[in-house]
């Protein structure tokens, strides 16, 4: 197992769970969005967040596990993990929007 492989799996699973719960809220009955906007917002958020998930998973795998890097800066790994968590929090903020304007900010 490569040095950061288990950490990458954990952080990617955390991002997927966080985004999955946020996307579920979009189609939930308690969401303040009007009923005619729920499904379009749901589809938009699924495609956008799936792009974030696949892009980040591929980037992390390619940078840190495909070939054993000779020297990996911990700052670089931390920065990548930090941005992934930031995008997860951004996903939660987007899906908890009360209006379409807030959703599309």
Delimit the domains of the chain by residue range.
Answer: 5-103
Burial (0-12, 13-18, 19+ Cβ within 10 Å), 30: exposed
5-9, 63-67, 86-90, 99-103, range with the lowest pLDDT: 63-67
Mean pLDDT over 48-57 rounds to 87
pTM of this structure: 0.74
Is the CB of residue 60 less than 8 Å from the CB of residue 12? yes
C-alpha distances in angstroms, 19 versus 5, 7, 10, 42, 91? 21, 18, 14, 12, 6
Residue 69 has pLDDT above 80, yes or no: no
Residue 70 has pLDDT above 60, yes or no: yes
The pLDDT tens digits for 32-50 are: 878 888 888 889 888 988 8
What pLDDT is attached to residue 3?
72
Mean pLDDT over 75-85 rounds to 86
What pLDDT is attached to residue 20?
86
């Amino acid at each position: 197992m490569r040095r950061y492989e288990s950490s990458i799996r954990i952080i990617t699973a955390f991002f997927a769970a966080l985004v999955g719960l946020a996307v579920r809220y979009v189609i939930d009955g308690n969401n303040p969005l009007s009923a005619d906007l729920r499904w379009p917002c749901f589809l938009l958020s699924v495609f956008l967040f799936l792009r974030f998930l696949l892009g980040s998973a591929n980037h992390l795998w390619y940078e840190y596990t495909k070939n054993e890097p000779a020297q990996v800066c911990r700052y670089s790994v931390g920065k990548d993990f930090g941005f992934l968590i930031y995008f997860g929090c951004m996903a939660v903020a987007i899906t908890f929007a009360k209006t379409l304007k807030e959703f599309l900010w």
